[in-house]
Amino acid sequence: MSLLPLSLVLFAALLHATWNALVKAVDDRAGVLAAVSATHAVFGLILVLTMPAPSIPSWPMIAISATLHYGYYILLFRSYAHGDLSQVYPISRGLAPALVALSAVVLIGEVLPPAGWFGIALVSLGVGLLALQRGAAHASGQAVLLAIYLGVLIAAYSVADGIGVRRADSVFGYIGWLYLLEFPVPLAIAIARRRKGRGFSARTLSWGLFGGICAVSAYAIVLYVKTIAPLGAVSAVRESSVIFAALIGIVFFRERPVAGRLLAAAIVGAGVMALALA
């Protein structure tokens, strides 16, 4: 991979870790997540209006993925309420590709090469080390469990989307409808958590808008780079976001212990890269 695509994918990884850090940092997490999802919905509406509609066989996957995304937003909210960014993010984002790879072996009989199994072993080791870390989070055990559930959900909607886009005949049409359909539930949760008469603060909306732009931009950058660079290499470098999240958590949120979390996140990242390049 040349310098330009490498730099772009690293930037996308940083953007993804950044918007998760915003969710962790703010008090009104539900409001920020609703604003992030609203940003997705705006871009989704643009895609729906400008791109061909996805074909009928892909709609069940759109429905399944949207439903799984509802659970994703709920678990993301709860995970960062109870756990540290440098623990929750690497566990959830690292588990997902390992679970997707295992699902492909079990469900459709894909053959995983030795490098793939090595990657799964590294992810398992790194997640195990992260689960053993004890820091400032008031419910570390609960945070680890929520992060694992979150990883399972990410893997599930990744598999659904992988099937859906292959059936869609319009990748951007599929993405547009998914972005639109995933918006109502985060908004409903945020509204339900409002105190009587309390609206969304300008700070919540501005941080949510920034987080949404980070999320959409990260996805768009990765899609673009996949047109000019090897897919496996792009996927591998993209998962450097687990390292960025660990660094953000340690530097900005003062999460501890430092050495153990950095080592565990690096092992998870190496495992995911091995899976992507297998």
CA distance 242 to 59: 32
pLDDT in tens, 11-58: 999 999 999 999 999 989 999 999 999 999 999 999 999 999 999 999
| Mean pLDDT in residue range 188-215 | 84
Q: What is the dihedral of CA 118, 121, 122, 123, to 10 degrees?
A: 120
Which residues fall within 8 angstroms of residue 3, CB to CB, at 6 or more apart? none
CA distance 210 to 36: 8
Q: Which domain holds residue 194?
A: 3-277
* Res. 243: pLDDT tops 50: yes
More confidently predicted of 115 and 199: 115
CA distance 58 to 174: 8
CA distance 203 to 200: 8
Q: Is the pTM of this model over 0.85?
A: yes
* pLDDT classification of 197: cutoffs 50, 70, 90: low
DSSP string, 144-164: HHHHHHHHHHHHHHHHHHHHH
Verify cis geometry, omega within 30 degrees of 0, for the bond prior to 54: no
Mean residue pLDDT of the chain comes to: 89
pLDDT in tens, 170-181: 999 999 999 999
pLDDT in tens, 125-134: 998 888 877 6
CA distance 210 to 219: 14
CA distance 215 to 191: 22
Please state the length of the chain.
278
Cα three-residue angle 209-210-212, rounded to 5 degrees: 65
Chain position carrying tokens 């390292």:
243
What b/e readout covers 151-160, taking b as 16+ CB neighbours within 10 angstroms? bbbbbbbbbb
Domain count, the chain: 1
Verify cis geometry, omega within 30 degrees of 0, for the bond prior to 257: yes
pLDDT (0 to 100) of residue 49: 97
Alpha-helical regions (H) of 26-113? 29-50, 59-82, 85-108
Answer yes or no: are the C-beta atoms of 129 and 257 closer than 8 Å: no
CA distance 257 to 133: 7
